[in-house]
């Protein structure tokens, strides 16, 4: 399983290093890979996997600007931050369990979702 940590994960850089270190072992026991950002490719298409959806409002808070990816570099963005099945922007794929009947998205299903972008 892959985790792109976000605002509720104690290993996200928004938390103090001591807190991150305290929790890292517990997260590593569950996830095979932990990364703030991942790029995945399918042919010539490049997708960003990030906890946060792309920044839509350039006047957003400093925290939003700091952590949200910029959409113009990617074919699509895979995220889980919104905990909702509502699509925010074209090219976004929400993999939050709440968007998929509380199911974790398997990589094979992810490619099917990306094909719909």
Q: How far apart are CA 14 and CA 104, in angstroms?
A: 25
Does residue 72 surpass a pLDDT of 70? no
- 89 closest CA partner among 61, 59, 48: 48
Q: Which residues contact 95 (CB under 8 A, 6 or more apart)?
A: 78, 79, 80, 105, 110, 113
Strand blocks (E) in 1-117: 2-3, 33-34, 37-42, 45-50, 76-79, 92-94
> How confident is residue 80, by pLDDT bands cut at 50, 70 and 90?
confident
Q: How far apart are CA 37 and CA 98, in angstroms?
A: 21
Q: Averaged over 64-72, what is the pLDDT? A: 57
* 4-60 pLDDT per residue, tens: 999 899 999 999 999 999 999 999 999 999 999 899 998 888 898 988 887 655 555
């Amino acid at each position: 399983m892959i985790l792109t940590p976000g605002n509720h994960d104690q290993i996200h850089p928004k938390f103090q290093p001591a807190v991150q270190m305290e929790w890292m072992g517990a997260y590593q026991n569950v996830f095979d890979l932990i990364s703030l950002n991942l790029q995945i490719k399918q042919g010539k298409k490049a997708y960003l996997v990030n906890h946060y959806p792309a920044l839509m409002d350039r006047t957003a808070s400093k925290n939003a600007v700091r952590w949200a990816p910029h959409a113009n570099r990617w074919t699509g963005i895979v995220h889980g931050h919104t905990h909702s099945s509502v699509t925010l922007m074209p090219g976004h794929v929400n993999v939050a369990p709440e968007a998929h009947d509380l199911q974790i998205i398997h990589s094979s299903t992810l490619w099917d979702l990306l094909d719909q972008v």
